[in-house]
Amino acid sequence: MGERSGKILLGLVLLLVGGLVLLDLIGIDSGDLIGVLIPGVLMFYGARKILGPSGSRFWGILIFLFGFLMLIGKLNLLFTSLLAIGIIYLGYRLIRRQDAPKEAPPEWERQWARKVLQEDSLDRWEKR
């Protein structure tokens, strides 16, 4: 079960979804089938990543949960929760105490900057 089997699975899913869309265009209602098919495929893929020897368990769990939430119709709960967590974190960052102010650059760096920014002969020539 390597990269090839994943491509085959994705190809089959794309063929099935495309076929269902064409059936819908000619008047055969696929209705709830797509609403169950896509989350089911996501859950199957996530489970394969979790149980597979070379799969990433973290991403597998994440994909499986995404498909599960999509299947039970609670995907908006996930996005709302992520938005709430983001807003709480932003508020925390805004009110938290600032660390000590940054130090002034060392003397050697200030001298170097003065030399670089100093007017050179080309600048004086341009002014004339």
Please check whether residue 111 lies inside any domain of the structure.
no
Please indicate, yes or no, if residue 116 is contained in any of the structural domains: no
Provide the residue count of the chain: 128
Nearest to 82 by CA among 93, 71, 74, 94: 74
Asked whether residue 119 is domain-assigned, the answer is no
pLDDT for the residue numbered 122: 66
Is 49 part of a structural domain of the chain? Answer: yes
Residue-level pLDDT at 3: 63
- The predicted-structure confidence for 111-124, as pLDDT tens digits, reads as follows 887 777 776 666 76
Element (H, E) at 3: helix 3-25
Q: What would the pLDDT profile of 60-73 be if each residue is shown by its tens digit?
A: 888 888 888 888 88
pLDDT at residue 90 tops 80: yes
pTM: 0.47
Q: Which domain holds residue 68?
A: 3-98
Q: How high is the pLDDT of residue 121?
A: 65
Q: Of 128 and 60, which is predicted with more confidence?
A: 60
Instruction: Give the gyration radius of the chain's Cα atoms.
Output: 29
**Count of domains forming the chain:** 1
Report the distance separating Cα 65 and Cα 78, nearest Å: 10
Task: Please determine, for residue 93, whether its predicted confidence score (pLDDT) is greater than 70.
Answer: yes
Q: Is residue 86 domain-resident?
A: yes
pLDDT tens-digit series, residues 12-60? 888 888 887 887 788 777 666 777 778 888 898 888 888 887 767 888 8
C-alpha 79/C-alpha 73 separation (Å) is: 12
Cα 119 from chain centre: 48
